[in-house]
């Protein structure tokens, strides 16, 4: 079963309190998402470390119930 957009958002917000998360279902199949995450926690971090914070929030769901995630991060 694919991961629902609201579950992706909740996982990210739990790891990055105060962040703004926008999720778009890119294919309409509940399996290919784009996420834009704006968070103060990204300030001063290179993009790779910003993305790692988000992927860590999703844990082992990436590549499992969450097949694909196009990620954009923005430091607030």
> Which CATH number is 50's domain given?
3.30.300.90
The model scores a pTM over 0.95: no
Q: What pLDDT, on a 0 to 100 scale, did the predictor assign at position 27?
A: 86
How many beta carbons lie within 10 A of that of residue 29, not counting itself? 11
CB 42 within 8 A of CB 71: no
CB 38 within 8 A of CB 19: yes
Instruction: State the Rg of the chain over Cα.
Output: 12
Residues of the domain holding 63? 5-75
Per-residue model confidence as pLDDT tens for the chain (76 residues): 788 999 999 999 999 999 999 999 998 888 889 999 999 999 999 999 999 999 999 999 988 888 889 999 999 9
Count of domains observed in the chain? 1
Q: What pLDDT, on a 0 to 100 scale, did the predictor assign at position 59?
A: 93
Please give the structure tokens belonging to residue 18: 């105060």
Please provide residue 15's backbone torsions phi and psi, each rounded to the nearest 5 degrees.
-85, -30
């Amino acid at each position: 079963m694919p991961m629902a957009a609201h579950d992706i958002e909740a996982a990210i917000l739990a790891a990055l309190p105060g962040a703004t998360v926008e999720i778009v279902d890119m294919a309409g199949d509940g399996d290919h998402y784009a996420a834009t995450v704006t968070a103060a926690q990204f300030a001063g971090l290179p993009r790779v470390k910003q993305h790692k914070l988000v992927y860590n929030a999703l844990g082992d769901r990436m590549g499992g119930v969450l097949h694909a995630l196009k990620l954009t991060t923005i430091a607030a």
